[in-house]
Amino acid sequence: MKKSSSHFPKIDTIRYEGPASDNPLAFRHFDPDEVMDGITFSEQMRFSIAYWHAFRGAGSDPFGPGTITRAWESGKDPISVAKTRMDAAFEFFQKIRAPFWCFHDRDIAPEGSSLLQSNKNLDKLVAHAKILQKQTGVHLLWGTANLFSNPRYMCGASTNPDAHVFAYAAAQVKKALEVTKELGGENYVFWGGREGYETLLNTDLKREQDHLAAFMHMALDYAKKIGFKGQFLIEPKPKEPTKHQYDFDVASGIAFLRTYGLEKQFKFNIETNHATLAGHTFQHEIEVAASQGMLGSIDANAGDLLLGWDTDQFNTDVRELTLAMLSIQKAGGLGTGGFNFDAKLRRPSIDLEDLFHAHIGGMDAYALAFKIARRIIAEGKLESFVEARYASFDQGYGKLIEKKKIGFKELEKLVLTQLGEPKPKSGKQEYLENLIASYLHG
């Protein structure tokens, strides 16, 4: 990437200017260089840019084509366009101060007329990415394979009723694992693209789930074989594109992983908009994963609660994010995961600077939420309330219940002879909601 050929000539590296700044191209809460607990805020947040939205999304929807045109998209040779696009992307990653990026194989290199040709195209762009990563210090948070766009996958990839399609998908993921390793990816994500069904009339649900699990086992075996050490993640989503997706939510994902003996090697990549599509809150999905030590990474976006599909918007709802951050911090953070902006510009947001506004807003909201959650935890009011609420399990027969050292008979005796009727205790929800609001609004 030569300095002289900037793709964003009018926009400098985004700087932190503090909460009082009215510069729309500055951070107000995210100071990447601020040191907290011995690491920088940037190292703490591990923000990542989603290549598919930021650099392949052009604003198309089912009612019309793309609206967003970028100068770097012009040219006749698809490989050199892909390289220039990648130059632009890495310039953006640096200017927005994102230490990570994420991609699908087909985002970065065009699909060829055969698997061999597709792999060759991919190799060229992976070599280019390797140079750019080295030059910029930007790392790969996770890689994945696009097993949903090509028409061959219309009835699913590993859950396709045709073993031929299963085999093709296996070959594609084999290569995706190799390139993720080659680029030092810290995780590998399985989002179940079209792994689900449109109608049960033509579907053998049990066989499809068995096949999905067999595919995951093959991926683990191959990763071991090539020495890929990254964390495997499942990204649940209840519906879209299929009517029913097998990785519906975190709870059903845990059941699936345990059923097939995969629970030790997988964690979850939780997406805000997928949580709400499943009828859950973002925080709920984080808590369920964390409760089993399976919180892996976050796809940071927001949905529109009035709409029934994945709108993938940038999240500026500091209250929602504070609650999520509380659960993430309580769980001890994300480990090798990070906050990946799986979010796209609205169709009419066609200016280059819109891409900056979008990510600045998302990063600032997450950073502010992180700080508020950190204060809430440090002051301990919420935590001590919850602790006190369960204190009866810390001693006597309560402790014996948790240790499984007491049964129905003994408990019956206790109630009949000593305890009698329990005294009702308030859940104090309104007090707690006010407490959270006091941190949000001062």
Ordered DSSP codes for 332-383: T--TT--EEE-----TT--SHHHHHHHHHHHHHHHHHHHHHHHHHHHH-HHH
Sort residue 335 into left (φ over 0), alpha (ψ -120 to 50) or beta.
left
Question: What's the closest the beta carbon of residue 296 comes to Ni ion, in angstroms?
Answer: 12
CB nearer to ligand XLS: pick between 121 and 272: 272
Nearer to ligand XLS, 287 or 342 (CB): 342
Shortest Å, Cβ 299 to Ni ion: 4
User: What is the rounded distance in angstroms from the CA atom of residue 103 to the CA atom of residue 125?
Assistant: 12
The item of ligand XLS, Ni ion, none sharing an interface with residue 144, based on CB under 5 to 8 Å by kind, is ligand XLS
Count Cα atoms within 13 angstroms, Cβ side, for 412.
3
User: Which residue minimizes CB distance to ligand XLS?
Assistant: 191
What is d(CA 194, CA 24) in angstroms, rounded to the nearest whole number?
A: 39
Give the nearer residue to Ni ion in terms of CB position, either 342 or 364. 342
Say how far apart CA 174 and CA 176 lie, in whole Å.
6
Nearer to ligand XLS, 186 or 310 (CB): 310
- Judged by CB under 5 A, the chain residues 303 through 342 that form the site for Ni ion are 310, 342
Q: In the complex, what is the shortest distance from the CB of residue 189 to Ni ion, in angstroms, rounded to a whole number?
A: 8
Q: Please report how close the Cβ of residue 429 comes to ligand XLS at its closest, in angstroms.
A: 32
Output the six-digit token pair for 52. 């598919």
- In contact, 159 and 204? CB cutoff 8 Å: no
Q: Which residues of 106-142 are buried (b: 16+ CB within 10 A; e: fewer)?
A: bbbbebeeeeeebbebbeebbebbeebbeeeebbbbb
53 among known catalytic residues: no
Residue type, 202: N
Q: Binding to Ni ion (CB under 5 A): which residues in 166-195?
A: none
Residue 442 beta carbon to ligand XLS: minimum distance, rounded to whole angstroms: 35
- Give the residues across from 339 on adjacent strands: 47, 298
Nearer to ligand XLS, 50 or 365 (CB): 50
The CA–CA distances, whole Å, from 196 to 125, 156, 161 equal 31, 7, 11
**Which amino acid is residue 380, in one-letter code?**
G
Find residue 245's DSSP bridge partners.
196
Nearer to ligand XLS, 96 or 300 (CB): 300
Please pick, among 7, 29, 104, 139, the residue that the annotation labels catalytic.
104
Q: What string of DSSP letters covers 83-128?
A: HHHHHHHHHHHHHTT--EEEEEHHHHS---SSHHHHHHHHHHHHHH
3-state secondary structure of 27: strand
Strands 196-197 and 244-245: antiparallel
Number of residues that bind Ni ion (CB under 5 A): 4
Task: Tell me which residues touch ligand XLS (CB under 6 A).
Answer: 104, 144, 189, 191, 235, 237, 271, 299, 310, 342
* Closest distance of CB 144 from ligand XLS, Å: 5
Is residue 128 within 8 A of residue 77, CB to CB? The reply is no
How many C-alpha atoms does 89 have within 13 Å on its Cβ side?
32
Residue nearer to ligand XLS on the CB measure, 84 or 187:
187
Tell me the closest approach of the beta carbon of residue 189 to ligand XLS, in angstroms: 6
Report whether 37 contacts 378 (CB < 8 A): no
Residue closer to ligand XLS, measured from CB, 122 or 326: 122
Q: Which of 299, 339, 345, 373: binder of Ni ion (CB under 5 A)?
A: 299
Active-site position among 107, 249, 310, 312: 107
Closest contact distance (angstroms) between CB of 198 and ligand XLS is 17
Maximum CA extent, the chain: 86
Q: Which of 364, 377, 302 minimizes the C-alpha distance to 332?
A: 377
Q: Is 315 left (phi over 0), alpha (psi -120 to 50) or beta?
A: beta
Check if 107 is active-site. Answer: yes
Per-residue mark of binding to Ni ion, 210-249 (x: CB under 5 A): ----------------------------------------
Instruction: Check residue 285 for interaction with Ni ion (CB under 5 A).
Output: no
Q: Two tokens at 284?
A: 């709920």
Q: Report the interface residues with Ni ion, using CB under 5 A.
A: 271, 299, 310, 342
- What residues act catalytically? 104, 107
